[in-house]
Structure 1
Amino acid sequence: MTINFDRLKDHINTLAQIGRQEDGGIYRMAFTPKEQEARKWLSAQLKSARIPSHLDGALNMIGRLEDTNNQEQPAILIGSHIDTVPNAGALDGALGVLVGLECLTRIKEENIQTSVPLELIAFSDEEGRFGGMFGSRALSGQLNPGIIEEATDLDGQALKEVVKALGYDPYQALDASRPSEQIKYYLELHIEQGPVLDVEELSVGIVTDITGLFKWQVQLTGAANHAGTTPMELRKDAFMGLADFAHEIPRILDENGSEASRVTIGNAALYPGSANTVPGKVEFSIDARDVNIEVLEEIKTACRKTLSAIARRRGLQFDFNEVSVIEPVACDAVIKKSIEANAKKLAYGYKLMPSGAAHDAQMMAKIAPIGMIFVPSKNGVSHSPHEWTDWHHIEQGANLMLNTILDLSK
């Protein structure tokens, strides 16, 4: 069975125009007017396909196919998100929602009776205006009143006030939690957001694991002093501590990491920030990832020991704050087997691979077996107007998702 590719292509192109600005980027951040416009458009497509839909308490949009024979059974959920980062491309998140819409529409058109209900879900605020994965955390029971009360965006706007302004009660997000007994599987199609499939010229990736991560904000404090009068051997140069640590990262990964390990210093600031002053303080971020929780803990320990040793050697003070921690999760063996069998049946080139980025599927793994399909990202680009996937890869990924859904819902 195949999708209606012309319709899917039209949906992708139409949704991509909602929030597009003159710089070519898409600005459809969570709970903004353009994201609300996209939600109305999606609701209209579900109505046109005769798929009943509703919003839950976390403002997740859910379309559901069921009949009198299966409505009491646990459902298969197919989802992703339609909110974007600022200056985004057309496919991150949106492709998974639109492929799910197309799959349910085709099943509805063919009057196929599945043994379980099928649900399309467009999660709210995956990209992190208010912390990230708000909708999937709500649905999987990982929210509490404190998170809702404290969440703000970079402009200082409070989540609860933004949601109230839309006409909803923010605390109803706590009612979106669903018991695991209601969900048989969760499936998600996503662009890879990396270069592997594109370089290897493969149509699809079958995700084996989703990376875990920890993020630190680190501070090394020394002494600011005159750049011309302070001898090199008498300096307490905070930047040199950062430089030492950056050079230690390959060793840390060689000794403690795996092929899936990543450590990134993505942000750094020197103080006082004067060209003729020895930096007395440096603040920087560490983003570390791996698909194995034990490996991730070893990397964490190694980073802490290395920074402590560097601080002692250079006469610095070392402090850090753990900003966030997400545990890695494994994809379900039954789902992986189904995806692989259908990829072989369709004669698609594929690869078993981990995901180096976090996804709504990671949250859903708390309450349901999960599976993910990747399609290639052209040149590995994502979160950019240059983000793209060739049309034939999109078509193949969508056909693979459709046949996997049919297989798992027999």
Structure 2
Amino acid sequence: MGSTPKINSERLKALLDGINRFGAGSPGAGFNRPAFSDADMAVRDWFAGQMQADGLAVTRDGANSVFGRFGDAVGPSIMVGSHLDTVVDGGAFDGALGVAVGLECVRAMKEAGVQPATPIEVVATSEEEGRFGGMLGSQAIAGLVTAEWLSSAADADGVLLADAMRAQGLEPEAVLGAARPKGSVKAFLELHIEQGPVLEREAIAIGLPEGATGIVNLQVTLKGTANHSGTTPMDMRADAFAGLAEIAVQIPDMIAQSPSEIARITIGKVELVPNHPHTVPGEATFSVIIRDASEGVMRGLQRLFYRATAAVAAKHGLAHEIEEKSVIAPVAFDGGLVDLLSEEAEALGLPARRMISGAGHDAQTMMALCPSAMIFVPSRNGISHAPEEFSEWADIEKGAELMLAALVRLAA
């Protein structure tokens, strides 16, 4: 047994900065590594090279997730990591921090001469941000991807997942072969920024999610009649945007009918056709994301939304279509792992708050394969998925030390 491993903060920061050289825009503009973009592919190559230089056994699966194994080449492993892809103009910490912390923990163990009895696999999962409607990398590892979904999944611009993969020299069918057998992964741990304001507001160092909300991803289309905005009387319009606006203002009432305090309905991407100043919009297509920690609450809100959309469409003389693009079920994380993290946080003198994650993460998908849990570190002003995303380095160090302590204990 070697000495007690310690996080090297400067080394961790250099690793995170290295990741964020890929997809970086002008200062303050955020980062762009959408799944299967050139920047996403390049950062994976670079990160694989970092792990190879550290002496890890590096592999990739059919979904283009990257793995670095520390310890025996055979037998079940403990997996640690997160994702490297970003939303458009995303922040520097979402996903990338969890990947960097995973590798830094292994580096710290190697430096201290700690050899794990159970191998540790650092993972950078593929396509977590849902460009194509799911969490492809972790879903592939957990064996949750179907051939039907794989052939039809598309992004908001209509680009098929299969085409995006082929454009980068990848075979979509290989995704189905990425599934790990039951028992091959003993546990999955993921460090992540909270992406919310709770930890900062309460001045608590660590968040320990006990579960994560589910996600229903809908695409709604309202079809009316495009017409001249000056000659068409207000009471004779079939205005698709007016329908969209009326649906949007009803969302607070839908939420008020829910028994949950964490339910969310969000209208995100919106497209109008025609999209001109002097034309009544004839068509509106928009995304709707429904989230809650309860499957029943989530589906209840979905039904409320469907009824409201039908009523508004009828009122405005619009045809309407709603397509369910994808569903990720709510999940409870493994109680034993959450308890272990709580114990290690207490041993390190770190205040920890149990909570529910309002965002989707690879860890919830991995629960289908193995026990999983997460560590949250505070986010300044709760901002994420934006260039202003930021976490204090002192908070990051605390989260990294907790992850290291947990891995050392689990791998012993």
TM-score range, shorter chain: 0.7 to 0.9
Q: Which moved more, 1:315-324 or 1:211-220?
A: 315-324
1:122-146 per-position Cα deviation (integer Å, ceiling 9, x unaligned): 1122234444522212111122344
Report the equivalent of 2:378. 376
Report the equivalent of 1:97. 99
Report the equivalent of 2:22. 18
Equivalent pairs counted in the alignment come to 407
Report the equivalent of 2:190. 188
Instruction: Describe the shift of the 1:257–1:324 C-alpha distance in structure 2 as closer, same or farther (beyond 3 A).
Output: farther
Distance 1:171 1:259 in 2: 41
Alpha-carbon deviation of 1:98? 0.8
Quick one: which amino acid aligns to residue 12 of structure 2? Answer: L
Task: Determine helix, strand or coil for the equivalent of 2:257.
Answer: helix
Distance 1:358 1:98 in 2: 19
Question: How do 1:77-92 and structure 2 match up within 5 A?
Answer: 77-92=79-94
Report the equivalent of 2:35. 30
Report the equivalent of 1:391. 393
Q: Which moved more, 1:114-123 or 1:285-294?
A: 114-123
Question: How do 1:320-331 and structure 2 match up within 5 A?
Answer: 320-331=322-333
Check conservation: 1:256, 1:302, Cα contact below 8 A: no
Distance 1:256 1:113 in 2: 50
Check conservation: 1:189, 1:372, Cα contact below 8 A: yes
Report the equivalent of 2:350. 348
Check conservation: 2:134, 2:326, Cα contact below 8 A: no
Distance 1:4 1:364 in 2: 28
- Pairing partner for 2:173 from 156, 171, 174: 171
Distance 1:159 1:241 in 2: 31
Question: How do 1:181-220 and structure 2 match up within 5 A?
Answer: 181-220=183-222
- Pairing partner for 2:246 from 244, 247, 271: 244
Distance 1:112 1:404 in 2: 14
Report the equivalent of 1:48. 53
Alpha-carbon deviation of 1:8? 0.8
Alpha-carbon deviation of 1:18? 2.8
1:318-371 per-position Cα deviation (integer Å, ceiling 9, x unaligned): 432222221111111011111111122212232222112212222212111210
Alpha-carbon deviation of 1:174? 1.9
Distance 2:281 2:50 in 1: 56
TM-score by length of 1: 0.88
Check conservation: 2:333, 2:364, Cα contact below 8 A: no
Check conservation: 1:338, 1:408, Cα contact below 8 A: no
Distance 2:162 2:250 in 1: 43
Alpha-carbon deviation of 1:401? 0.8
Distance 1:31 1:241 in 2: 35
Instruction: Describe the shift of the 1:220–1:151 C-alpha distance in structure 2 as closer, same or farther (beyond 3 A).
Output: closer
Report the equivalent of 1:299. 301
Check conservation: 2:83, 2:124, Cα contact below 8 A: yes
1:345-404 per-position Cα deviation (integer Å, ceiling 9, x unaligned): 212232222112212222212111210111112222222332221110110000011112
Q: Which moved more, 1:59-68 or 1:198-207?
A: 59-68
Distance 2:190 2:310 in 1: 41
Report the equivalent of 1:63. 68
Task: Determine helix, strand or coil for the equivalent of 1:266.
Answer: strand
Q: Which moved more, 1:296-305 or 1:81-90?
A: 81-90
Task: Determine helix, strand or coil for the equivalent of 2:183.
Answer: helix
Distance 2:43 2:260 in 1: 40
Alpha-carbon deviation of 1:165? 5.8
Task: Determine helix, strand or coil for the equivalent of 1:338.
Answer: helix
Quick one: which amino acid aligns to residue 13 of structure 1? Answer: D
Instruction: Describe the shift of the 1:229–1:191 C-alpha distance in structure 2 as closer, same or farther (beyond 3 A).
Output: same
Check conservation: 1:192, 1:377, Cα contact below 8 A: yes
Distance 2:225 2:17 in 1: 55
Distance 1:247 1:51 in 2: 53
Check conservation: 1:95, 1:189, Cα contact below 8 A: yes
Alpha-carbon deviation of 1:236? 5.2
Quick one: which amino acid aligns to residue 50 of structure 1? Answer: G
Instruction: Describe the shift of the 1:253–1:53 C-alpha distance in structure 2 as closer, same or farther (beyond 3 A).
Output: same
Check conservation: 1:257, 1:299, Cα contact below 8 A: no
Distance 2:166 2:228 in 1: 53
Distance 1:331 1:254 in 2: 27
Identity level (%): 42
Alpha-carbon deviation of 1:57? 2.6
Contiguous gaps of at least 5 residues in structure 2: none
